[in-house]
Amino acid sequence: MDGARTAPGERIERRTIDVVPRDERHGRTRDLFTIWFSANLGPLTVVTGALAPTAFGLSFVWSLAALLVGHLGGGFLMALHSAQGPQLGVPQMIQSRGQFGSVGALAVVLVVIVMYQGFFASNLVVGAQSLAEVTPVDERTGVLLCALVSLVVAVIGYRLMHRIGSVTTWAFGAVQLVGAVYLFFGGLPDGFLSKGSFSLAGFLGMVSVGALWQIAYAPYVSDYSRYMPADRAGVRSTLWCTYAGCVLGSLIPMAVGSAIGIASGGSDPIGALDSLLGTTLGQLTLWSFALVTMLTNSMNLYGAVLCAVTAIQTFAHRWLPKAPGRTALATALTALSVVLALALADSFMTSYLNLIYVLQYVLIPWTAINLVDFYLVKHGAYDVESFFARDGGIYGRWNATALTVYAIGILAEIPFMAQSLYTGPLAHALGDTDLGWIAGLVVTVPAYLVAVRLKAIPAPEGAAA
């Protein structure tokens, strides 16, 4: 990649999933605050916050309480993944080979690719809607424009995305903060706080959405810290900078989204924002939404490309593409997301909520296994060379223990699921309250600890904890 010694003409990232050498390490942990703060300033964050009153019927106070609980808890799990990046210098999904084996990790990698495509397409939809509010560009053209800008940024790569994060945090963060202050101190209708109510199912449902919003970053959060020097980007500083940026960056727009959802009473929070903020401030906010989406949505595409390379490299272990190969993959995935975005446009809110629910069921057991293995079992000591070995090295091609516990974690969630297509018996007994993700955590963590202690796999010789 364009490391610390990158020549002026080498602006496009050269590395993909290979290990970042020590002499190419660069960056500061405070850069993690800005990239994750800016990543949450897009309109999709506002739309997600609006789910609290529109999908779950919560009042603003209870919406805010649910968002706080979900983000504070889920954000900590996500930030623990970020701290792995400087220690190992590889993308998150490559590191998962240390738990699941080189081929076994594909069970998670393929799910994560679908997740990236879903979020990339969702951001294209809301970014195009924001653009259509302030320009004569129609939504179809807006989707194409947003996709093109994101593609260019993703191809240039890591360093540019961090620079964009720094600029957008201060520029667009200021615009949205002013909009939030105006909205809460004069832009909301009378009786605003009396609208909506509390229900246990609704509250826990929105807690799940907030937690999943944070945990959805877990499969690629360390991709943006892996270039940092391990001696300057320690576990604590990496964790807290990531945690603060992502939690603060998402809570403010989601609180605004909840308020807009209650005030407008409709399913179009982006359209309602313009009228609630007034012409000038509303237009500035919508412009910031459109530009942030174009620029930071590249992170979803970048992560999808790294996962696609990981999937292919599993069977072609000598294949580590440079810029041309990465560009070709990024272009193909962008085209797929554009098709998906255009198909989602008419039923966006329903499709997006369904995506969030599916993700929580498959990501929670994975994040539990990954974090327990890194922090409690191996204490950060991994044989990185084995991640790229044809036979999986000391981790093998399949780790039956991790895959079995992963399956058990998903099965444990089924009785607690509460969805339109299926409601489990325990969820129904609890008033159709979805507690699947909590069951996944509660079961997976002790199950994995017991399983690995019975198997007693030693740490690799010479690996630094």
% pLDDT > 70, the chain: 94
**Tens-place pLDDT, residues 121-149:** 888 988 888 888 888 989 899 999 999 99
**Tens-place pLDDT, residues 194-253:** 888 998 888 988 998 899 899 989 988 999 999 999 888 888 999 999 999 999 999 999
In CATH terms, the fold of domain 27-348 is Hydantoin permease (1.10.4160)
Calpha distance 62→344 (Å, rounded): 29
Pick the residue with more confidence: 33 or 274?
33
pLDDT confidence of 462, banded at 50, 70, 90? very low
Torsion of the alpha carbons at 94, 95, 101 and 104, rounded to the nearest 10: -60
Tokens 């246990």 appear where?
200
Q: 79-89 in b/e burial notation, b at 16+ Cβ within 10 A?
A: bbbbbbbbbbb
Note the pLDDT of residue 270: 79
Note the pLDDT of residue 464: 43
Average the pLDDT over 181-191 and give the result. 81
Nearest alpha carbon to residue 386 among 59, 90, 159: 90
Kindly state the tokens that stand for 344. Answer: 């989602």
269 pLDDT higher than 90 = no
Calpha distance 144→298 (Å, rounded): 14
Note the pLDDT of residue 299: 93
- Between helix 436-455 and helix 200-215 the angle, nearest 10°, is 50
pLDDT confidence of 334, banded at 50, 70, 90? very high
Kindly state the tokens that stand for 95. Answer: 């590191």
Lowest average pLDDT, out of 378-382, 387-391, 417-421, goes to 417-421
Tokens 């084995």 appear where?
386
Q: So where are the chain's domains?
A: 27-348
Secondary structure string (H, E, C) spanning 395-446: HCCCCHHHHHHHHHHHHHHHHHCECCCCECHHHHHCCCCCCHHHHHHHHHHH
CB 40 within 8 A of CB 246: yes
104 pLDDT higher than 90 = yes
Calpha distance 170→35 (Å, rounded): 11
Nearest alpha carbon to residue 34 among 201, 219, 225: 225
Torsion of the alpha carbons at 400, 401, 407 and 413, rounded to the nearest 10: 180
